[in-house]
Amino acid sequence: MDTSEDPGTRSRWQRWRRRLLPVVLGGVLASVGCSGTAPSVLDPAGAGASRIAGLWWVLFWISMAVFVEVVLLLVWALVFRRRPGVRVRHGQPLRFVAIAGAGVPLVILVTVYSLGLRDLAALGDGPAPGGPVIEVTGHKWWWEVRVAGVAGATANELHIPVGEKVRIRLRSADVLHSFWVPQLMSKTDLIPGEDRETWLHADRAGSYRGQCAEYCGTQHAHMTFLVVAEPRSDFDAWVTRLGSPAPQPRTDAQRRGQQAFVQGTCAGCHAIRGTSANGRVGPDLSDVGSRWSIGAGAVPNDGGHLGGWIANSQTVKPGNYMPPQPVDADRLPDLVAYLQSLT
Ligand code: CUA
278 CA → ligand 1 middle, Å: 25
Ligand 1 closest atom vs CA 176:
1
pLDDT of res. 262: 92
Cα–Cα dist 265/276, whole Å: 13
Ligand 1 closest atom vs CA 138:
1
Cα–Cα dist 226/208, whole Å: 6
68 CA → ligand 1 middle, Å: 39
Tens of pLDDT, residues 116-131? 999 999 999 989 898 9
Average pLDDT over residues 74-103: 81
139 CA → ligand 1 middle, Å: 8
Ligand 1 closest atom vs CA 140:
1
Top pLDDT among 171 and 8 is at 171
pLDDT beyond 90 at 80? no
CA nearest neighbour of 273 among 242, 241, 246, 299: 246
75 CA → ligand 1 middle, Å: 47
The pLDDT confidence band at residue 326, using thresholds 50, 70 and 90, is confident
pLDDT of res. 32: 46
167 CA → ligand 1 middle, Å: 21
Mean pLDDT check: name the lowest of 20-29, 74-83, 190-199, 238-247.
20-29
Average pLDDT over residues 218-231: 95
pLDDT of res. 83: 75
The pLDDT confidence band at residue 329, using thresholds 50, 70 and 90, is confident
The pLDDT confidence band at residue 208, using thresholds 50, 70 and 90, is very high
Tens of pLDDT, residues 173-200? 999 999 999 999 999 999 999 999 999 9
**Where would I find the beta strands (DSSP E) of the chain?**
133-139, 142-147, 153-155, 157-161, 166-172, 177-181, 185-190, 196-200, 206-212, 224-230, 293-294, 299-300
The pLDDT confidence band at residue 1, using thresholds 50, 70 and 90, is very low
The pLDDT confidence band at residue 328, using thresholds 50, 70 and 90, is confident
Contact residues of ligand 1, CB 6 A cut-off: 138, 141, 177, 212, 214-216, 220, 223
pLDDT of res. 11: 63
pLDDT beyond 50 at 4? no
The pLDDT confidence band at residue 84, using thresholds 50, 70 and 90, is confident
Cα–Cα dist 288/258, whole Å: 13
Which residue's C-alpha comes closest to atom 1 of ligand 1?
Answer: 177
Residue 263: Cβ within 10 Å count: 11
Ligand 1 closest atom vs CA 220:
2
Ligand 1 closest atom vs CA 141:
1
207 CA → ligand 1 middle, Å: 20
Question: Using CA of residue 307, residue 308, residue 313, residue 317, what is the dihedral sign?
Answer: negative
| Adjacent-strand bridge partners of 212 | 179
Top pLDDT among 267 and 325 is at 267
Alpha helices in 197-270 (DSSP H): 232-242, 252-263, 266-269
Candidate ranges 1-10, 18-27, 163-172; pick with highest mean pLDDT: 163-172
Tens of pLDDT, residues 11-46? 665 666 566 655 555 554 555 445 556 888 999 999
Tens of pLDDT, residues 263-273? 988 999 999 99
Ligand 1 closest atom vs CA 223:
1
11 CA → ligand 1 middle, Å: 47
Instruction: Decide: 182 and 201 in contact? Cβ < 8 Å.
Output: no
284 CA → ligand 1 middle, Å: 19
Ligand 1 closest atom vs CA 214:
2
Ligand 1 closest atom vs CA 221:
2
Tens of pLDDT, residues 295-304? 999 899 999 9
192 CA → ligand 1 middle, Å: 12
pLDDT of res. 88: 65
222 CA → ligand 1 middle, Å: 8
